[in-house]
Every structure is written in C-alpha cells, then in structure tokens.
Structure 1
C-alpha cells in the first residue's frame, strides 16, 4: 500500500438514528460494529473520515412529506433539479438524522477523537443521497458533499469503507468511490445491513463487486498493508 498511494478510511453514517435501541431507522446490530471500527481508527490511515446523513426537516426521503405514503413500503421518484432526464426511485423512510437533533449525532461509542473530518450529506431537501459523495445525479452534478475533492487533495488512492447500512449508504459510497477511480474496499465485518438475510447480503456484495469494489474482511491482507504503511 505504501508504495502505491495513501489510504483513507470512510465510516458511513454511524449515527444514533441508525442504531438500536431508539434509532428512528435502526439497523439491527448497528451499534455492535463500533469496537471493530475503533480498531480500524487505530491503524495509520492517511485520512479518517466519518459521514453523516444531515437532513432538513422537510427532506424528500421522508414519508411524512408525501400525502398518503408510508415509510418502508412507499417509494417516490425524484427528478434532478438540473436535468429532468435524470431520475431516481427511492424508498421513503421515517424522519431520521434531522439536522441538530440527537438522532443526527455520531454514536458515543465511536472514537470520534480519532476522526480527522466529518462529512455531511443529504442536506439538500430536494434530492436523496445514499452515497457519501452525493446524489446519483451527475449530468450535471447536484448537491455533492465535497468528499471526492477532500480525498484527491489528500493524495488518497485507496478507500476503505465501513458503517451503515451495508445495502444502502455503504454500497452507494463504495460504488461511487470505485467509479471515481479510487481502489475501493468494503469491510463487510464492520458493516450491518437493513436486509440482513444471507440472500440480501450476497446480493449487495455481488452488486458492489460488479462495480469494481473489493469486499474484504478485517483479517484481510489489504489491511496488513495499511498497518505497514
């Protein structure tokens, strides 16, 4: 790793609202991955980033903003505000990670003192952003978080992704990182998914790998290279 470029750790959305017991959109076992992620934070990554959903109260992904729609079972088609040819079908969710609420904060079990930077996403009420890089609308780009610029300015070549949720924001972030040209690894031992079935986990892995993401575990040799950097 040291001879091929710097590595970054991206911890996706390890927030109160995504964790039991009281999270508005709790992922089963979400809080349990904090110890593994804290061990990752002890490794000599060149850049350690945590991301947060950081939604306004009237965010388009909230079922409460759509008449007669229900969280989890209803969906909505979002059109790019800058290009009507680009659309995104999204599941509607309970209100979650609202700016300046306790649910928006990173969980206290996370060793935030070891995090170099927190990147907020989903701040534009008109678009959904599962990826920490920004919404899927790229022609032109809309409401990007600045993560790509941050990584490039730091000289990052390798991106390791962990956090919540495996099948939504982790997947989208890892795929975007790979498509932006970073060598990307998804740390499946340090993630949890909304769909935790074997079939669901495998389907997410297959989709990430199709886009060039390398799915690895906490004992993989790629992390040995980070330790040696």
Structure 2
C-alpha cells in the first residue's frame, strides 16, 4: 500500500434476494456470475473487508405490500425524517417484500467466500425509512441510525473505500456517495457491480451523479486495484 493510504472494501448487499438463477425477490440479472470477481477482490489485502446486508422487518415502509393499491416497481413513496417531519423528504421506489430478517433471501449468496469478510453491517431494520446506504438512512437533521460504519473506518485509519455489489444504481451508488461525503477517497469498481436497470439513459444519469459527488469510477484492471493487489 502506498504511504499514508489504507483501503477498505465494501461488498454491498450480495444477498440471495438480489441474485438471479434462481430468481430472488429483487433479482439483478447476472449477479451470480460476478461471484468469482467478488471473491478475487476479497482475496486481496484490503485493510478492512466489509459486507452489507439489507435486514428488513416484514412491515418495512419500502414494501408495496404495506401500501394499499400500490404496485412494486411502478409506485413510489416519499418519507420525511421521522424525527423531523418538516425536513429531508426522500422518495423511493416501492419494492416487493425482500431480505426479510432471518429469511433465505436475507442471507449472503452461497458462492461468496464469507471466510474473507471481517465485518457485516446490517441496514434497513427501521421500518419507517429506506436505507440504501451502508452508512445509514438519508437523514441528517437529526441523523437516524448509528455511526457504526463511519466509526469503524476511522478507527482503522481507512483513507480509501472501494465499493462493489448490488445493485449499482441503488445501494451501491448511495454507499459510494456517502463514503465520498464523509471524506474517504472513494472508488466504485464498475465491473464488480451490476445494474438492475442497465438502460443507456439510466447508466448515464447514475454515473454522472457519482462523479459529481467525487466518486471515481474504475475497473478491475485499474491502477488503483492493481496497487491493492500488489501491496501484500
């Protein structure tokens, strides 16, 4: 590792419900085919290796089943900060029930080499709010949830965060944006993340949002990944 740099790998939501073949509740096409890529990254000498998991109660606000007449994928919901109803509205798509606490869909995919994962961060337990990011719900006034991930990265002296996983335009994107917001040099490894909607327009919009937030979009063949690989 270069002097003064210390890197963490965050593997976002590589769970059965986000994996195809067989289809999970929110399956991302091609997700299982990325298992060798994720395992290769986990074998590299990152200082910290983290996996995140959606961990929803059965009555989570993001589930279309909790809203009469609403349909998954087609309808949305806007939720303000439950601790400050006048501020911070966040609009999210309504989803099928997924990643229910303790269910098969909630578990990390079997192909993932879990022995290399040092820490698992669970998110989405608060039924009142959506929480795409590994750093917690999108509310700051006041902040909801704890600072577990921020505190862990800072306590380990992490300066760089590499983000991979599922799905690119949802939990991967929000995790990467928050990592950059909290001051970490942040890289999203694009060939280690899969889009749920890989249309040209969606890809273009999402990539621009990330770049505008200071996230570097790189590949497995990038110098940044090669530096990690050779730092053992």
Find the counterpart in structure 2 of residue 67 from structure 1. Answer: 68
CA distance in 1, matches of 2:120, 2:62: 22
> Once the two structures are superposed, what CA deviation does each residue of 1:28-57 show, in whole Å capped at 9, x if it has no partner?
111111110100011100000000000011
Partner of 1:103: 105
How far did 1:145 drift?
5.9
Please state if 1:28 is matched with 2:26: no
Query: Aligned equivalents of 1:165 and 1:171: distance in 2?
Result: 8
Equivalent residue runs for 1:1-229 within 5 Å: 1-20=1-20, 21-84=22-85, 85-144=87-146, 146-229=148-231
My pick for the range that moved more, 200-209 or 183-192, is: 200-209
Give the Cα separation in 2 of the matches to 1:42 and 1:145: 27
Can you list the C-alpha shifts for 1:184-222, whole angstroms capped at 9, x where unaligned?
Answer: 000000010111123322221111000000000000000
Q: Secondary structure of the equivalent of 2:163?
A: strand
Higher percent of residues as strand: 1
Pairs aligned (count) = 229
Deviations 1:162-197 (A, max 9, x none): 000000000000000000000000000001011112
Give unpaired runs (5+ residues) of structure 2: none
**Secondary structure of the structure 1 residue equivalent to 2:88:** strand
**Residue aligned with 2:100, SS:** coil
TM-score by length of 1: 0.97
Partners of 1:120 and 1:97 in 2: CA distance: 11
Q: Which moved more, 1:78-87 or 1:152-161?
A: 78-87
Kept after mapping to 2: 8 A contact 1:12/1:161: yes
The answer as to whether partners of 1:2 and 1:228 remain within 8 angstroms in 2 is no
Structure 1: which 4+ aligned runs deviate by more than 6 Å? none
Deviation, structure 1 residue 225: 1.6
Report the 3-state secondary structure (helix = DSSP H, G, I; strand = E; otherwise coil) of the residue aligned with 1:156: coil
Q: Please list every run of 5 or more consecutive structure 1 residues that lacks an aligned counterpart in the other structure.
A: none
Aligned partner of residue 176 in structure 2, secondary structure = helix
- Report the Cα distance in structure 1 between the residues aligned to 2:211 and 2:4, rounded to whole angstroms: 21
* Structure-1 separation of matches of 2:104 and 2:147: 21
Per-residue CA deviations over 1:54-107 (Å, capped at 9, x if unaligned) read 001110000001111110001111121111212111110000000000000000
SS in structure 2 of the partner of residue 45 of structure 1: coil
